[in-house]
Structure 1
Amino acid sequence: MAEQSGVEAGQYLTFTLDSETFALDIHKVREVLDLTEVTKVPQTPAFMRGVINLRGNVVPVLDLRLKFGLPVTPQTVHTCIIIVEVTLAGETLVLGAMADSVQEVLNLEPDQIQPPPRIGTGLNLDFIRGMGRRGDDFVMILDVDAVFSSGELECTYGEMTEAA
């Protein structure tokens, strides 16, 4: 079934948003940071929280809850920023993605990965590469490039890094 979903077996970093578990290909993840102060940048979409200083580099931070249309909740000690590499217009960019918590690195075999559902989810299915099975639960495997490659991000990324 992995061939149908276009998702390869391998390692995935799992994290939570609301009560759902999501996963990112570990090869796209640079590191996970504790939540730090985010400098707001004016006139950016609501899901663009601002920028952080990551060892002298300006890194835009997006709130995945807002990007996916989930309700805003207070930040906790578990709220974190996942630093990812994204390919946008042929260029590799470094971005931060706010998540409620990080869980684990999960190994998924081909028989544990299925194509995304055609109905029954409020999320844009273009972002979902597949569904990983972990016991009786499912993990939504995200296409990090598709999540962050929307037209609104392409226009905003340069503005955010220049403004900082």
Structure 2
Amino acid sequence: MTVPQTVNGGLFIPGNGDLPGLWGSNAINPDMVAIEGVTTISASNAPIVLTSPSGFTSTPSAGPTQAQNAVLKFTGALTGSVQVTLPIPGYYIIDNQTTGAFVLGFRAIGSGQIIAVDQQDVQHVYNDGTNVRFVNLGRIGETAMWAGLAAIPAWVSACTIP
């Protein structure tokens, strides 16, 4: 029996009586892990494209792909700026625990707006499939003060709209 899946996240949508005996590790449990999931991704200096379900074909697995997780935690010592591609539209919490004098930026599959998240910071972002934008950061064009800094922080300059 083919069970429909959500368009953006590839989560199973079982109907009444669907998946008898398969609610364990084969179908529904990976959905629950994805909804609250945290995945840790190491970054250094190369672009990263998060893993995503292949065409959302129902393939039972032990857990969600990287892009299906709600929280994306990045670690590692950056030796160059890294652009992360978020292949699935939706909301993400980005936890940037990287170090180094470089920037961790985020883009969608489309060629729209790009954002960057400061190191040792956690931000809520939204990917509409073309643009990646901050959620609850402030208004675009709003003036911000960084007392004591000689220049605008690199993560701000790395955003399509600083």
Same fold (TM over 0.5): no
Which structure has the larger Rg?
2
Query: Scaled by the length of structure 2, what TM-score is found?
Result: 0.24
Query: Scaled by the length of structure 1, what TM-score is found?
Result: 0.24
Q: Which has the higher helix share?
A: 1
Q: Which has the higher strand share?
A: 1
